[in-house]
Amino acid sequence: MCGVCGCGGGARSDGKGEDTADHHHHDHGHPHSHPHPHSHPHAHDHSHDRDEVTPTRLLRVEQDILAKNNAHAAANRALFSAAGVFSVNLMSSPGAGKTTLLVRTLADLKGRFPAAVIEGDQQTSLDAERIRATGTPALQVNTGTGCHLDALMVTRAVGRLGLVADSVLFIENVGNLVCPAGFDLGEARRVVVLSTTEGEDKPLKYPNMIAAADLLVVNKVDLLPHLVFDVNRLVDYAHRIKPGLEVIELSAATGLGLDRWYRWLEAGIAVARQNREHEQA
Partner 1 sequence: MHELALSQGIVDLVCQQAAADGARRVRRVRIAVGVLSSVEPDAIEFCFDVVSRGTLAEGARLEIARPPGRARCVPCDAVVTVAGRDQPCPLCSERRWVLVGGDDLRVLELEVE
Distance in angstroms (rounded) separating the CA atoms of residues 221 and 231: 9
Minimum separation from the CB atom of position 69 to partner 1 (A): 7
Residue 81 vs 142, nearer CB to partner 1: 142
Which range touches partner 1 (CB under 8 A), out of 17-25, 123-131, 200-208, 227-235?
Answer: 200-208
Distance in angstroms (rounded) separating the CA atoms of residues 84 and 75: 14
Instruction: Indicate which single residue of 3, 37, 55, 225 sits in contact with partner 1 (rule: CB under 8 A).
Output: 55
- Residues 100 to 129: which contact partner 1 by CB under 8 A? none
Give the residues across from 172 on adjacent strands: 90, 119
Residue 43 near partner 1 by CB under 8 A? no
- Residues 67 to 96: which contact partner 1 by CB under 8 A? 67-69
Residue 237 near partner 1 by CB under 8 A? yes
Residue 28 vs 57, nearer CB to partner 1: 57
Cβ atoms of 79 and 165 within 8 Å: the answer is: no
Q: How far is CA 253 from CA 1, 8, 57, 265, in A?
A: 75, 80, 62, 18
Q: What is the dihedral of CA 101, 107, 108, 112, to 10 degrees?
A: 120
Q: Under 8 Å CB-to-CB from 52, ≥6 apart: which residues?
A: none
Instruction: Indicate which single residue of 33, 39, 56, 232 sits in contact with partner 1 (rule: CB under 8 A).
Output: 56
Distance in angstroms (rounded) separating the CA atoms of residues 183 and 209: 11
Which range touches partner 1 (CB under 8 A), out of 63-71, 75-83, 98-106, 113-121?
Answer: 63-71
Instruction: Indicate which single residue of 78, 126, 133, 178 sits in contact with partner 1 (rule: CB under 8 A).
Output: 178
The site for partner 1 (CB under 8 A) is made up of 54-69, 145-148, 150, 178-179, 181-183, 204, 207-211, 237, 240-243
